[in-house]
Amino acid sequence: MTRQISASVYSVGALNPNLRVFDIVMRTDYGTSYNAYLIRGEKTALVETCHNSFFEEFLENIRAVCDPGEIDYIILNHTEPDHSGALRRLTECAPQAEIIASRAAAIYLRAITNLPDLRVRAVGDGETLDLGAGKTLRFINAPFLHWPDSMFTWFEAEGVLFSCDFLGSHYCEPRMIDTAITYPNAYQSALKNYFDAIFGPFKPYVLKGLEKIAGLDIAVCANSHGPVLTKGGQLQNALDCYRTWAQPQKNDACTIPIFYCTAYGHTARTAEAIREGILSVKPEAKVELFNIIDEDMADLGARLMGSNAFLVGSPTINKDAVPPVWQLLSHIDAINIQKRPAAVFGSYGWSGEAVPALCTRLAQLKCKVFGEGLKVNFVPSEEELAAAVSFGKEFAESL
Ligand SMILES: Cc1cc2nc3c(=O)[nH]c(=O)nc-3n(C[C@H](O)[C@H](O)[C@H](O)COP(=O)(O)O)c2cc1C
Ligand SMILES: [Fe+2]
Ligand SMILES: [Fe+2]
């Protein structure tokens, strides 16, 4: 479906209402859309393409506005294949179109299209493109929102910001405009899920992105997924939410959660002794114990990421740490965990692989791993419990 969103901008993207998983890790309960836009001046520019599997629908949408052969420029604000997947086939229908993208994107596009000689005009922050008839586009670098290649395109004359994934959502309805959203609560949860999954690791860049567009009088935010946002519609809400969600988290007290699994209580008993040791050094610290299998994994992942330091404990079962502990570690945001102090402990019977295996993984994630961890043999003895208290003390002193 094609829709005009301002005097010279047409939405020509494709809807994918049935999508339920995006990029392997994101649930998309409300489907998504691959938004793309045609801007008609004396020259014609296309902003973004779409997922390769939606090429036919996309081409049909373009044809409803113009002959694809009339496209002079194809602007890619980002090269992830949900934006660039249809590029190669589209260039066959628009052979004279010049591709415009950021410097990083120009490199990626050659590897994505497997056309080493692909001609791409790399544009830097603030560069402009004149479409004639008083219509000029300005490119705004927006690195890490959410790839190194990301940029925004600003069409001042009509107040249209092509914001790429920024301010987008995996939310699909027949009329993709914020003033016609049928289920506002569902949309709001999709906006938040999208932010968490895509921008959660890049919060400082989100704040920079917001700064960069703060001075623009945006009438329409033509994003790459979900309903287009308008001034007077959901735009201000989305901007306010992004600002709130991107604030750095501040813990009132030093927060040192201890996550563990235990079959017979031995690792749990060790965790309690470590806690006692930490509190003897840092009585004001917030040191909560979490038996991993009793809790919601995503919630534990968030607690781990929000910690000042953390500990994980696992018994050794069949020569390894247990799956729920590995599952918790899979919730770690590898971009933001670097340098975080972490310690590992666990009870074992004979071979004791769990503790060194977890230490290795946390070191690989660039955590600051405390020593070699603490192992106790079967039921922790009085001496082993005293060693666990000392382990907690020393870990706390190292912070
Ligand atoms: C099914 C099973 C497999 C085990 N495999 C190992 C193993 O490969 N190596 C080892 O050192 N201990 C092994 N153990 C022993 C446990 O690590 C030991 O009993 C430990 O004290 C359990 O601690 P927990 O009560 O905190 O779970 C195994 C225990 C069970 C129940
Ligand atoms: Fe993306
Ligand atoms: Fe995207």
Q: How many residues does the chain have?
A: 399
The answer for residues whose C-beta is within 8 angstroms of residue 290's C-beta and 6 or more apart is 257, 258, 259, 260, 300, 303
Ramachandran angles phi, psi of 107, nearest 5°: -70, -45
CA 31 to chain centroid = 17
Gap between the Cα atoms of 140 and 209, Å rounded = 9
- Please tell me the predicted confidence (pLDDT) of residue 117: 87
Longest dimension (CA), the chain: 84
Please identify, by atom number, the ligand 1 atom nearest to the C-alpha of residue 319. 8
Please identify, by atom number, the ligand 1 atom nearest to the C-alpha of residue 267. 26
- Please tell me the predicted confidence (pLDDT) of residue 34: 98
Q: Which CATH architecture has domain 3-245?
A: 4-Layer Sandwich (3.60)
Ramachandran angles phi, psi of 46, nearest 5°: -110, 130
Gap between the Cα atoms of 165 and 78, Å rounded = 8
**199 Cα: distance to centroid of ligand 2 (angstroms):** 10
Q: Which of 259, 267, 292, 316 to mutate to test the pocket of ligand 1 (most atoms within 8 A of CB)?
A: 316
Please identify, by atom number, the ligand 1 atom nearest to the C-alpha of residue 260. 26
Strands (E), 113-185: 120-122, 128-130, 136-141, 151-155, 160-164
Please identify, by atom number, the ligand 1 atom nearest to the C-alpha of residue 350. 11
Gap between the Cα atoms of 336 and 206, Å rounded = 14
**371 Cα: distance to centroid of ligand 1 (angstroms):** 22
The highest-level CATH class for domain 258-398 is: alpha beta
**18 Cα: distance to centroid of ligand 2 (angstroms):** 19
Q: Which of 267, 318, 355 to mutate to test the pocket of ligand 1 (most atoms within 8 A of CB)?
A: 318
What is the residue extent of each domain of the chain? Answer: 3-245, 258-398
* Nearest protein Cα to ligand 1, atom 4: 317
Query: What is the identity of the amino acid at 172?
Result: C
Kindly give the confidence (pLDDT) of every residue in the chain, 399 residues in length, as a single tens digit, with 9 standing for 90 and above.
899 999 999 999 999 999 999 999 899 999 999 999 999 999 999 999 999 999 999 999 999 999 999 999 999 999 999 999 999 999 999 999 999 999 999 999 999 999 988 989 999 999 999 999 999 999 999 999 999 999 999 999 999 999 999 999 999 999 999 999 999 999 999 999 999 999 999 999 999 999 999 999 999 999 999 999 999 999 999 999 999 999 998 888 999 999 999 999 999 999 999 999 999 999 999 999 999 999 999 999 999 999 999 999 999 999 999 999 999 999 999 999 999 999 999 999 999 999 999 999 999 999 999 999 999 999 999 999 999 999 999 999 999
- Please tell me the predicted confidence (pLDDT) of residue 116: 87
**81 Cα: distance to centroid of ligand 3 (angstroms):** 8
Paired strand residues for 27: 21
**80 Cα: distance to centroid of ligand 2 (angstroms):** 5
- Answer whether 3-245 and 258-398 agree in fold: no
What global pTM score does this model have? 0.92
Look up residue 93 and give its two tokens.
């229908």
